[in-house]
């Protein structure tokens, strides 16, 4: 067989373009001819001018949807190609086509920002599964669904602008948010098996896209209006998740983003002598109650019936006051049946905090709390019913114990202040006492941090002590192993005996 010489390799024919910008021509560098600003000029924030603006160069066929404005200026000497945080020159990034058209280099930069930083502000979890979803699966999914892509770009632009304020990023966040709602509304008209996951993830992202009052002098109504919008969006997410909740939602790749508990909890360490049903959690189908919130197929243990409600003293007093008002000897509380389920929904959150402290399971339970809020309760909040408001303020206080997230910060604090004004002016003594519990948690949080604030919840709680929870949880887990016939080491057996005594 004749051996071919590799000594000379002819170049492939190629077209030489003279349509580059004047800056690249002057500096004698290759111009990618992107418009309105080429990659070389965009990276260095140089003036980019073309001699013939009406040129029909190939680059003009894929004009980016947005002008690019990198948040940092990097000179030739500053670039470190071994540093993964260094922005990549736009002309080194291949064109990416999404369902909405070709993505500009700024779009790609924002997508990278989302995958690297922003996603961590959207979830209370940072396990490998959640990380893979946000860094790989969801961005890839967004290329086929414009509403999800625009949501990601808007969230990333908003986050980027918060870190390094930029008029361009602010404008882009607004444009993408508007397009998100437009495309999302279209998708809601035709939810299919193919687009369901993308619609569900978009609904999650929308929670962080609700505009907060921008003025430092915004009044009480502005922050309460933000709260109303948040609850409305949460209701939409709840309805979307319910479409597949009992029909295999746990089999979807995005299920970790909507699951409502990470571990089964031990029973409460308390006992209510009263047999009143409102002092015990409701018994209903698995997957529909806060006690067993995940789809039925995800459980492998047999579930017991109703358990005692586990609440801090001030919330327990509020629950008892509802019960007393509904007794034969007192007036009927017209809103009692609406408020009971919300108080019950708090019970597993406090149980998780007691047994496992500031654990991802607690963070997830706080994050999904609004999925248990029904329309009748939302109407009470909108009507500014003091007890409904104080319960929602408690959720905000617990959300402050989560290490990161868009749901903490100035807007939340201002909303709690607005709620406090109404509660202290219009609420009864029990409701005011419950709000003081919120105020106390937030005060400790600011002074001493999350751990101290969490511990303070269990102050003055009869026979319930912060330090006992983890040991009791270990003993309960050990008892399960014994029931399954698994031998325990002597230390674990001794621990169980001590707790039982």
Residue 415 Cα distances to 51, 227, 371, 374, 476, angstroms: 55, 7, 20, 21, 39
Alpha-carbon gap, residue 451 to 455, rounded angstroms: 6
For residues 386-415, b (16+ Cβ closer than 10 Å) or e, as one string? Answer: bbbbbbbbbbbbbbbbbeebbbbeebbebb
Length of the chain: 501
Question: Using one digit for the tens of pLDDT, what is the confidence trace for 253-283?
Answer: 999 999 999 999 999 998 766 667 788 888 7
Among the listed residues 465, 457, 463, the one whose alpha carbon sits nearest the alpha carbon of residue 315: 457
Alpha-carbon gap, residue 296 to 300, rounded angstroms: 9
Helix (H) or strand (E) segment spanning residue 454 = helix 450-456
> Which phi-psi region, left, alpha or beta, contains residue 166 (left: φ > 0; alpha: ψ -120 to 50)?
beta
Q: Could you tell me if 226 and 186 are in contact, meaning their C-beta atoms sit under 8 angstroms apart?
A: no
Residue 384 has pLDDT above 90, yes or no: yes
Residue 61 has pLDDT above 70, yes or no: no
Helix (H) or strand (E) segment spanning residue 101 = strand 101-103
Does residue 238 or residue 303 have the better pLDDT? 238
DSSP letter at 290 equals S
Least confident of 214-223, 232-241, 484-493: 484-493
Q: What percent of the chain has pLDDT over 90?
A: 52
Residue 5 has pLDDT above 60, yes or no: no
Q: Could you tell me if 406 and 208 are in contact, meaning their C-beta atoms sit under 8 angstroms apart?
A: yes
- Give the relative orientation of helices 375-382 and 386-399 as an angle to the nearest 10 degrees: 100
Q: Could you tell me if 448 and 440 are in contact, meaning their C-beta atoms sit under 8 angstroms apart?
A: no
């Amino acid at each position: 067989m004749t051996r071919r010489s590799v000594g000379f390799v002819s170049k492939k024919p190629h077209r030489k373009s003279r349509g580059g910008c004047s800056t690249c021509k002057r500096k004698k560098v290759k111009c990618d001819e992107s418009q309105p600003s080429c990659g070389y000029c965009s990276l260095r924030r140089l003036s980019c001018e073309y001699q013939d603006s009406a040129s029909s160069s190939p680059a003009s066929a894929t004009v980016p949807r947005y002008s690019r404005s990198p948040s940092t200026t990097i000179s030739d000497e500053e670039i470190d190609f071994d540093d993964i945080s260094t922005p990549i020159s736009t002309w080194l990034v291949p064109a990416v086509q999404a369902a909405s058209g070709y993505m500009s280099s700024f779009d790609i930069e924002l997508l990278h920002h989302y995958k690297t930083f922003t996603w961590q502000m959207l979830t209370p979890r940072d396990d490998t599964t959640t990380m893979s979803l946000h860094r790989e699966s969801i961005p890839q999914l967004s290329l086929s669904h414009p509403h999800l892509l625009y949501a990601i770009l808007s969230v990333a632009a908003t986050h980027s602008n918060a870190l390094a304020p930029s008029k361009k990023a602010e404008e882009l966040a607004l444009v993408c948010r508007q397009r998100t709602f437009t495309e999302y509304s279209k998708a809601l008209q035709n939810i299919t098996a193919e687009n369901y996951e993308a619609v569900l993830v978009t609904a999650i992202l929308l929670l962080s896209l609700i505009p907060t009052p921008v003025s430092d002098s915004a009044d009480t109504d502005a922050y309460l209006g933000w709260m109303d919008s948040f609850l409305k969006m949460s209701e939409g997410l709840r309805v979307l998740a319910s479409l597949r909740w009992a029909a295999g939602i746990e089999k979807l790749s995005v299920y970790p983003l909507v699951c409502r508990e990470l571990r089964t909890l031990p029973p409460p360490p308390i006992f209510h002598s009263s047999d009143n049903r409102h002092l015990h959690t409701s018994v209903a189908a698995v997957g529909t109650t806060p006690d067993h919130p995940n789809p039925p197929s995800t459980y492998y243990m047999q579930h017991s019936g109703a358990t005692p409600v586990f609440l801090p003293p001030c919330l327990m007093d509020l629950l008892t006051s509802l019960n007393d008002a509904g007794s034969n000897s007192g007036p009927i509380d017209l809103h009692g049946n609406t408020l009971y389920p919300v108080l019950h929904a708090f019970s597993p959150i406090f149980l998780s905090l007691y047994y496992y402290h500031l654990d991802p399971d607690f963070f997830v339970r706080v994050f999904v709390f609004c999925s248990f809020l029904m329309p009748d309760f939302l109407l009470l909040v909108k009507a500014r019913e003091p007890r409904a408001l104080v319960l929602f303020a408690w959720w905000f206080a617990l959300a402050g114990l989560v290490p990161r997230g868009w749901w903490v910060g100035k807007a939340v604090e201002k909303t709690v202040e607005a709620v406090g004004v109404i509660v202290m002016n219009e609420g009864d003594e029990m409701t005011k006492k419950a709000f003081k519990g919120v105020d106390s948690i937030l005060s400790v949080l600011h002074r001493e941090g999350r751990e101290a604030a969490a511990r303070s919840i269990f102050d003055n709680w009869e026979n319930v002590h912060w330090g006992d929870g983890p040991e009791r949880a270990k003993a309960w887990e050990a008892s399960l192993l014994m029931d399954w016939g698994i031998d325990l080491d002597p230390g674990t057996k001794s621990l169980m005996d001590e707790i039982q005594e």
